[in-house]
Chains A and B, each alone.
Chain A
């Protein structure tokens, strides 16, 4: 049954009491827009992340790692597909519009997919450091997420990302306990990925953050980042790696790792699609979409008799 609220106050009281909003509800338009933007950003990030994993399938060392890359590619593209369905259903943009905006550089995706991955160790750093940061932020959203379809999806995404993390940990251990060259290779990758991983959580939350107020996020960016540093700084130091700038320092009295101020300019550059690898990444994504147009056309024709008329906004043109 569609529910409606007579005022924003009443709607916010519903959210504060732990209420969950469903697609058939008559939700305030500002909430719809905010949730939509958040899910679109997540969908874009899964999609760009999937392409990043795909790039490494032919170059991954050994059959098992290639299988791992294939699995991750399938996971991320599958997540993107599900998220685009949920986002398109909100009626703000169609999936075709979202993809067009992504390929034209008009919308954003996670900062970590704006950097190049020159070596296999970069891929390991992504699987270990970046996936862990993404998982932590997804868990914080899942915990108290007020939009039903998104919360249900996150449950599965989190279970699958947990599996990626485990693979990442195995790959890291291999390099950490390997030859001096392997150790150096990972150190160089860590130097490149530490800062982007920390910035993945976003800049410190503003006081009027609507995502927090409407229970889309449940924790402040800086709290998530701090917990991540407390966990990963000792782990990486324990494996014999050194932490690059911004380098946290262990306070012997409190046992806490204290972070220096972070330079946010690299993050803000990625948010404008002006990161070190942004142009190539977006171009690759657009090229992959254009190159596979004939596959979608063939599938659409084959499915023509099976697929019922799509409800508004849920299908790409």
Chain B
């Protein structure tokens, strides 16, 4: 059975627009956490998400928000699956969102050379100070040019 015309699109838009609990002005789509949504013939929404870190303590909150968004958009039921494949990586974050993370949160993403451009001063002299920061998905760095702390988004588990 096919989903009612339009419902899938409405549910997908609502789910994509769910905001991240720790970046309240960024959506799970912008952060690359959203993977897919399928609406079945009974109007049930089946949502797949890719967590930044499997042990992320915000997963239950994100799940609840996504279920609420899908039901609010008219889905008859909603279920969320957190995928282990594909793995999340900072590459899933688009350029506009990267700029926003840098500007608003002083959060940077590694370049291909493993270094970062300081979001505060644009310098290339930032160095890692701790493998983790306040969140499991971020490292703590320090910029020697402008002397600001910078948090850097971690690659998937297995890479420091």
Contact = CB atoms under 8 A, between A and B. Distances in A.
B159 interface: no
Contacts, number: 84
Contact of B22 (A68, A160, A307): A160
Contact of A71 (B24, B57, B129): B57
- A71, A77, A82 — which one has the most chain B CB atoms within 10 A of its CB? A82
B89 interface: no
A159 interface: yes
A160 B142 contact: no
B57 A67 contact: yes
A307 B21 contact: no
Interface string A68-82: 101100111111011
Interface in A8-66: 22-24, 64
Given A67-B57, A159-B23, A166-B61, A311 B144 contact: yes
Nearest to A74: B134
A70 B55 CA distance: 11
Nearest to A46: B134
A79 B148 contact: no
B133 to A, nearest CB: 5
A156 interface: yes
Interface string A298-311: 00000000111001
Interface string B9-24: 0000000000001111
5 contacts: A68-B57, A76-B134, A81-B129, A148-B120, A155-B104
Given A22-B147, A85-B129, A162-B24, 11 more contacts: A24-B146, A24-B147, A70-B57, A74-B135, A76-B134, A77-B134, A82-B133, A82-B151, A86-B148, A157-B134, A160-B135
